Structure 1
Amino acid sequence: MKKTFELTHPKIKLARRVDAVKHELKKYLKRERNKTLPAGADYWDFDCKFGNTEAEAEPVHVSQLNKLIDKTQQEERTSFYVEILAKPAVRQSNLGADDEADEE
């Protein structure tokens, strides 16, 4: 998903429009997570970017999206850009960290 969201609407208030955008992002993430994983992958990881425009977008973690949207609302901006790209990923084991803790 690569999209610029407009927060201004002639009939919808800003707070409701922000809630609608958050819901749309949540729905997209759920839809992507429910897709069949390719062989050898454990979960879907997401590469996210957020900014005022596509050119200004910077990489962020998916968990930061709602906070950044709220910040945009507080700054009274009229639009923002979000890019979310799903990629299959494999979980990293913590065996090395557990072995070091046992030795101490």
Structure 2
Amino acid sequence: MRKTFQLHVEGKNRDRVLDAVKHEIRKYIKRERRRDLPEGADFWDFDCQFGRTKEDAVVAHLSALTGLINGVAAEGGAQFYVEILAKPGKRAPRPAGEAPRNEADGLDEDDEEGA
């Protein structure tokens, strides 16, 4: 997806347009993740770029896109450019002796310290 989204649309509420843009981006990501993975791939990864225009777009992480979009909207920007390209990803094996993230502190998610 390579697209410039307009936030000022004549006759439409700006907040509704912003919500529709976010919905379109989420829908695209969900659609891409449903595609069949190529041989040897573990998941779909995404290369993203974000900017006010295509020329000043910089690399951004997928999880940061919503915050960047909200930032442009809060500043009163009229448009922004988003580029999201799917690519197959391969998980790297965990180094020996490293604990999984959930078990690093020895507590389950439901446990409280000192309980």
* Runs of 4+ deviating beyond 6 Å: none
C-alpha RMSD of matched pairs (Å) = 1.2
Corresponding residue for residue 27 of structure 2: 27
Query: Secondary structure of the equivalent of 2:76?
Result: coil
Partner of residue 15, structure 1: 15
| Structure 1 unaligned residues grouped into runs of 5+ | 100-104
Q: Which has the larger radius of gyration?
A: 2
How many corresponding residue pairs?
Answer: 99
| CA shift digits 1:51-98 (9 cap, x unpaired) | 000110000000001000100000100000000000001011212452
Query: Where does the alignment leave 5 or more consecutive residues of structure 2 unmatched?
Result: 100-115
Q: TM-score, normalised by structure 2?
A: 0.83
Equivalences for 1:1-104 in 2 at 5 Å?
Answer: 1-96=1-96, 98=98
Greater share of helix: 1
Give the number of the structure with larger relative contact order, counting CA–CA contacts within 8 Å between residues 6 or more apart: 1
Q: Distance in 1 between the 2:55 and 2:18 partners?
A: 22
**Partner Cα separation in structure 2 for residue 98 and residue 13 of structure 1:** 50
